[in-house]
Amino acid sequence: MTQPPESWRKRHGSWPFADENLAKLTVPSPWKVECFMDTFNLDTPHMVAFLSNDLPLTDMIPSEGELHAILWIIGSRILYVQYQYHRIIPITLVSAAGYRLRITQGYIDQGQLFVRMTPIVDFTVGEKEKWDDFVQALCWVVGNPVGVTT
């Protein structure tokens, strides 16, 4: 797994996911987390994960894999004491099944799970034919975290 920059480790210690909590999500099953993106910024607990799924996605209904990944990643993040002052830990999934993709975001607030999804985009024809959708998905991945989480 990716390690944080040396300057981050000197200030905050080991990476919060150096243990095996998140590695369990990368084990092949009908769905699998392919990789994680972390800014290593304790002020923004947001995390992005890329989820591949052998099962078809259903419009506006989260898959079991998406729900499991959201809950597991939030739980793993909370285990790291330096993130425990955050009330909300948003998780963004780039969820793909074959050439079909959507962005799913989830968080827990006051004991309730909230999940939001974009419509499914079918990239069978290629990203050039669906360029606007491709750029929008890319913005979700590379955008800066926003929102109050404490």
- 18 pLDDT band, cuts 50/70/90, is very low
pLDDT tens per residue across span 48-86: 999 998 889 999 999 989 998 999 999 888 888 888 889
Q: What is the dihedral of CA 141, 121, 113, 32, to 10 degrees?
A: -70
End-to-end Cα spacing for the chain: 27
Task: Using alpha carbons, list the distances in angstroms from residue 62 to 16, 58, 87, 115.
Answer: 27, 7, 23, 8
Q: What is the pTM of this model?
A: 0.80
